[in-house]
Amino acid sequence: MRLWRRNATVKGERVGFVPTMGALHEGHLSLMRAARNECDRVVASIFVNPLQFAPHEDFGKYPRTFQRDLELMSAEGVDAVFYPNEKEMYPEGRESVTRVVPPCELADCLEGHFRPGFFTGVATVVAKLFNIVLPEAAFFGEKDYQQLLVVKRMVGDLNLPIQVTPVATVREADGLALSSRNVYLSEEERKIAPMLNRTLNFVKDAAQSGQLSLEAALEKGRADLKALPDVELQYLEARQADTFQPAAQFELPMVVVLAAKLKNVRLIDNVVVR
């Protein structure tokens, strides 16, 4: 990877980087296309990072489709793929690795509340990948909005010379955000899943039009989701889009975020209002 990078530097090429956990879909590919448009060379990584999974989570059964991923990346014109194994990333063992701990006001709420340690795992692996790939630019999906802010904050706080570019969420025709975890959904759950995005849009539209106050719109959204069979709502909240501070009333830019479990499948989504 270092040799490849050095070669690009010698040629004066700008390197764009797309970190992923594989099981690629159109969402990932849109990040690669954005990198392709903005950079001379594109590197993607595939690493299912054990550090960001809690013991009860799906690390073991996370979908792994490496050969297909390679074909998709090749078709997108990705120039290099970095796919380390766990030993290469955590040679001393992951338990004792030096960690990057994002600030609690960003990392301990919402996703961080339901997945303790998750953002430390993400920030640590992203910092390591950045230091290995040494990209000028990195591309992250708005689908994982809180993660995007954690990465941006880390890059700022640690003075990493990398431009972080957000890429809009890619969805199915019925609004369901693409996710590698969608393959876990049963036929029944797949029918209910678009309700998450529909509810986010309801909250956004009701609050933006002034039909309801932001709090009333969120309350109605929560009630609608809780009324659905087999849906366990974890959170539905509005935050300031830049700072991630709670939004008390409708204000711009804002993001409405949610997480819900459809039986055993945990999905997240958001809508950004600018």
Interface residue list for ligand AMP (CB under 6 A): 20-21, 27-28, 30-31, 140-141, 143-144, 167, 169-170, 177-180
Which residue number, 141 or 221, has a Cβ lying nearer to ligand AMP?
141
CA distance 159 to 119: 19
73 vs 206, which CB is nearer to ligand AMP? 73
Q: Report the 10 Å Cβ neighbour count for 37.
A: 9
Taking the C-alpha atoms of residue 268 and residue 173, their distance in angstroms, rounded to an integer, is 17
Q: Is 72 left (phi over 0), alpha (psi -120 to 50) or beta?
A: alpha
CB of 63 to ligand AMP, least distance (A): 10
Residue type, 44: A
Of 54 and 248, CB closest to ligand AMP:
54
For residue 158, the SS3 value is coil
CB of 46 to ligand AMP, least distance (A): 8
CB of 147 to ligand AMP, least distance (A): 6
| Nearest distance from C-beta of residue 142 to ligand AMP, angstroms | 7
Alpha carbon distances (Å) from 45 to 84, 87, 171: 8, 16, 22
**Is 28 noted as a catalytic residue in this protein?**
yes
Q: Of the residues 25, 28, 56, 113, which is catalytic?
A: 28
Closest residue by Cα to residue 21 from 56, 54, 58, 55: 58
Looking at the chain, how many residues does it have? 274
Min CB(151)–ligand AMP separation in Å:
8
Q: Which is nearer to ligand AMP, 69 or 136 (CB)?
A: 69
**Distance between terminal CA atoms of the chain?**
38
Instruction: Answer whether 135's CB lies under 8 Å from 15's CB.
Output: yes
Per-residue DSSP letter, 161: -
Q: What is the rounded CA–CA span in Å between residue 150 and residue 167?
A: 15
Cβ-proximal residues to 220 (8 Å cutoff; 6+ apart), any chain: 202, 203, 206, 212
Nearer to ligand AMP, 155 or 167 (CB): 167
* Least separation in angstroms between CB 23 and ligand AMP: 7
Q: Whose CA is closest to 52, among 138, 105, 129? A: 129
Whichever of 46 and 254 has its CB closer to ligand AMP, that residue is 46
Catalytic residues: 28
